Amino acid sequence: MDYQPKPEHRFTFGLWTVSNPGADPFGAPVRERIPPSRVVENLARLGAFGVNLHDDDLIPPDSSPSERRRLISEFQRCLKDHGLVVPMATTNLFSDPVFRAGAFTAQNPKVRAYALQKTMIAMDLGAELGAEIYVFWGGREGSEVDAAGYLPDALARYREAINLLCAYSREQGYPFRFALEPKPNEPRGDLFLPTVGSMLGFIATLDHPEMVGVNPEFAHAAMAGLNFAHEVAQAIDSRKLFHVDLNDQRMGRFDQDLRFASENLKTAFFTVLLLEESGYQGPRHFDAHPLRTEDERGVWEFAKGCMRSYLILKEKAWRFAEDPEIQEARRTPAQPLPDLRELRSMPFDLDTLRGEGAGQERLDQLLFDLLTGVR
């Protein structure tokens, strides 16, 4: 199998990922911010399917209407010239100091109103660029001082905002499916709605839950001490996996947004196995950025590596599913549960049940052999 990415693989990158200039809280940028046109040109060259964006990634805040128009037209021409699409759009509600105490959940109603207006304008941009998925990552929706308010009020404000924006999308006739992105903390001390499970509970309280799903991110699950494959599995089970942010992360660290599969090979493998076996049709979005150590040549090695690793693990997933010894070791009795009457009175040979091992040590070693190329 060649590991050459093609548009049919539906690999996408955010403008903000490959153009990340490498600044961190302790150091200045090490690279120029690569302009959108060069991002599109290089991602197309590498075989990507599309590019995603926050509103501010393409249109600097306070741009004049004519400047806005020019930037959008230029970007659309560039996408057309290079054959890339924009499957997802989102809003930057986390950089501007106005959102320092929250956006949708801010105590100040003027800040909440501005966050909604900024999102509506960004949705207009996303729709114009052809996006069909709209992501909400609440980077400032959280707290450091819980005394600041009655905590359920924050969720009520979040709900009010998403309900209003669902109504806006419907009124405008936009095709959007909303994907809410969980994260446990950072940049706020705690973030509201930290995991897939909390997002699913929240979605059930909305006016139009059918419009809203989740966008789980590998690094965010790892930061919460969770197994990302289990987060994805619950999203799939709920039919709410509307988008996915792939990257990698070492547990117990700040959000590293590392190249996909560069740290947790087994969890990355099970993530790819789930996405492929479940028939997930959405973009494989790499919300990751190159290490600060890299120059622009390293940026494109980073992008190539994300896609290459996914394709290698996709082949391993196929081999896993086709391997008779592995499938034999995974086999479980397929008999259905008896009906209630029988269940209530059926006898059990508990001594035998207690003595039966699960055979998972051998299965896990077979997987290790497969992933390390020994098998």
Question: Is 56 one of the binding residues for Mn ion (CB under 5 A)?
Answer: no
Contacting residue, 56, 245, 248, 263, with Mn ion by CB under 5 A? 245
Considering beta carbons, is residue 135 or 326 the nearer one to ligand DIG?
135
Beta carbon nearer to Mn ion, 58 or 219? 219
> Which residue(s) pair with 48 in the sheet?
none
CB of 204 to ligand DIG, least distance (A): 22
Work out how close the CB of 269 gets to Mn ion at its nearest, in angstroms, rounded to a whole number: 20
Question: Does residue 119 belong to the site contacting ligand DIG (CB under 6 A)?
Answer: no
Of 54, 220, 243, 289, the active-site residue reads 54
**Subset of 284-303 contacting Mn ion (CB under 5 A):** 287
Site for ligand DIG in 220-259 (CB under 6 A): 245
Report angle CA 87, 53, 51 to the nearest 5 degrees.
50
Count of residues interacting with ligand DIG (CB under 6 A)? 10
219 is an interface residue for Mn ion by CB under 5 A? yes
Question: Nearest 5°: CA angle at 56, between 50 and 62?
Answer: 145
In whole angstroms, the minimum distance from the beta carbon of 315 to Mn ion comes to 26
Neighbours of 54 (CB within 10 A): 22
Residue with smaller CB distance to Mn ion, 249 or 366: 249
Q: Which residue is nearest to ligand DIG (CB)?
A: 137
Q: How far is the CB of 86 from ligand DIG (least distance, A)?
A: 13
Interface with ligand DIG, residue 12, by CB under 6 A: no
Residue pair 211/169 in contact (Cβ under 8 Å)? The answer is: yes
Q: Which of 55, 56, 57, 287 is catalytic?
A: 57
> 162-200 burial, b if ≥16 CB within 10 A, otherwise e?
bbbbbebbeeeebebbbbbbbbbeeebeebbbbbbbbbb
24 annotated active-site: no
Contact between 43 and ligand DIG per CB under 6 A: no
CA distances from 38 to 42, 84, 94, 268, 296 (A): 6, 12, 25, 29, 11
243 catalytic residue (yes or no): no
Asked whether position 178 contacts ligand DIG by CB under 6 A, the answer is no
Task: Please report whether residue 270 would count as binding ligand DIG according to CB under 6 A.
Answer: no
Least distance to ligand DIG from the beta carbon of 339, Å? Answer: 46
Alpha-carbon distance of 136 to 82, in angstroms, equals: 28
Closest to 72 measured CA to CA, from 33, 32, 127: 127
Does 55 engage in binding with ligand DIG (CB under 6 A)? no
* Contact predicate 36/78, CB 8 Å: yes
* Active-site annotation, residues: 54, 57
Interface ranges with Mn ion (CB under 5 A):
217, 219, 245, 255, 257, 287
Interface ranges with ligand DIG (CB under 6 A):
14, 54, 90, 135, 137, 181, 215, 217, 245, 287
